[in-house]
Amino acid sequence: RHEAALASQVSGRIVETSPNLLVGGLFEEGDLLFAIEDTDFRLAVQRAQAALTRAQLDLRTMEGQARVGRREWERLGLEGEPDPLVVYEPQLESAQADVKSARAQLDQTLLDLERTRINAPFNGRIARKEVDLGQYINAGSTAVLFAGTNRAEVIIPLPIEDLARLNIPHPSSERPGSEALVRLRLGTVVFKWSGRITRSLGEVDPQGRMARVVVDIIDPYNLKQTWPAENPSLEPGMFVTVELKGEYLDDVVPLPRKALRSNDSVWIASEQNTLDIRPVEVVHREEQTVYVRGEIEEDDRIILTPLPGAAAGMKLRQRDESR
């Protein structure tokens, strides 16, 4: 679900790498990916610490001179406020600014030293690797492409009319998305994961007029033993089938798709072996099945074969199944 191109923020030679720094290598959040030689950065920290110490000493010296100047002014009994130069106000402000600057420089060198160690920003795996031990890397250059392992997303195209029968979360709604069952077939074995719709991509394919929704699956690599131990890793690029749990449809009858005739009607063989054409309401369509509402009884004989010149009331003859 998460994917990040990790780049070094400092330049230097790589002196340490994790044994897992390989394409497909798995990491937990905070694990070391690789480290850059830090000698120069440690020396910079020492210089910054020394500069801060000098600046603090200069500030204390200037504060002492300012106190002496004010006491001398008061001893002379002069009226009003002393001139800023007499009490070293400009020099004091400059010394205070030098301390702030030196402290900021020390913070920057400490930050650069910390940046010599590149750690995993979240639980994930190496999707692409651009660096290796001994290589010099420039600040800002991509080192690895890092992909998260906490969750996986499956993009599902759906007919627009199916969206009305699914729960698709919106930012203003707290209602959870529809449940999903994800299946992966490897040979003759089928593995299963459960998931849930988290969002729609918010666009419709202008070619096939299909909308796309996202199903979220936790722990796709089973690192937390969420799924049966025999389940393989659910990796990007795998082809899966997804069953979505939509709203419950009552008073509907499933029929083979070829039973649906023009003008949304169904042909039925009556008890008198005549053709009865009954209109139905199509509630939902699938690849091989339609769900309809209408006056259809459980023991009705649905006609699936074509009838040339079909008309209501025409006589029918049942095909001899033994022939």
19-58 pLDDT, tens digit per residue, is: 999 999 999 999 999 999 999 999 999 999 999 999 999 9
Instruction: Give the separation between CA 153 and CA 292, rounded to whole angstroms.
Output: 33
Distance (Å, rounded) from C-alpha 189 to C-alpha 131? 39
Tell whether the torsion through CA atoms of 112, 116, 117 and 123 is positive or negative.
positive
For residue 1, name the pLDDT band (cuts at 50, 70, 90).
low
CA distance 308 to 297: 25
Nearest to residue 223, comparing CAs of 154, 150, 295?
150
What is the phi-psi region of residue 12: left when phi exceeds 0, alpha when psi lies from -120 to 50, beta otherwise?
Answer: left
Task: Select the more confidently predicted residue: 322 or 82.
Answer: 82
Question: Which of these, 263, 259, 251, lies nearest to 301 by C-alpha position?
Answer: 259
Task: Using the CB atoms, write b or e for 189-205: b if 16+ within 10 Å.
Answer: eebebebbbbbbeeeee
Judge whether 115 and 9 are in contact, CB under 8 Å: yes
**Candidate from 25-39, 83-97, 224-238 with smallest mean pLDDT:** 83-97
pLDDT at 323: 46
**What are the chain's domains?**
3-37+116-148 (2.40.50.100), 40-114 (1.10.287), 151-244 (2.40.30), 249-323 (2.40.420)
| % of the chain residues with pLDDT over 90 | 51
- The answer, yes or no, to whether residue 77 has pLDDT greater than 90, is no
Calpha distance 234→239 (Å, rounded): 10
**160: pLDDT confidence band, cut at 50, 70 and 90?**
confident
Most confident range, picked from 60-69, 182-191, 205-214: 182-191
* 200 DSSP β-pair partners: 213
What pLDDT score does 236 carry?
A: 87
β-pair partners for 179: 196
pLDDT (0 to 100) of residue 185: 94
Task: Identify the pLDDT of residue 88.
Answer: 74
**Which residue is associated with the tokens 């009884």?**
297
Taking the C-alpha atoms of residue 295 and residue 283, their distance in angstroms, rounded to an integer, is 14
Is residue 154 a contact partner of residue 240, using CB atoms and an 8 Å limit?
yes
Three-state secondary-structure class, residue 31: coil
DSSP structural state of residue 248: -
Q: Average pLDDT, stretch 293-309?
A: 83
pLDDT of 321 reads 52
pLDDT for the residue numbered 271: 82
The Cα–Cα gap between 308 and 306 comes to 6
Mean pLDDT of 267-286: 84
Among 103-117, 248-262, 274-288, 307-321, which range has the highest average pLDDT? 103-117
The pLDDT value given to residue 43: 97
Separation of alpha carbons 226 and 21, rounded Å: 25
pLDDT at 272 over 50: yes
**Structure tokens of 269?**
């063989």
Q: What percent of the chain has pLDDT over 70?
A: 96
What 3-state class would DSSP assign to 113?
A: helix
Q: What is the pLDDT of residues 127-156, one digit of tens each?
A: 999 999 999 999 999 999 999 999 999 999
User: What pLDDT is recorded for position 266?
Assistant: 87
Judged against a pLDDT cut of 90, whether residue 305 lies above it is answered with no
Closest among 149, 130, 148, 109 to 8, alpha carbons compared = 130
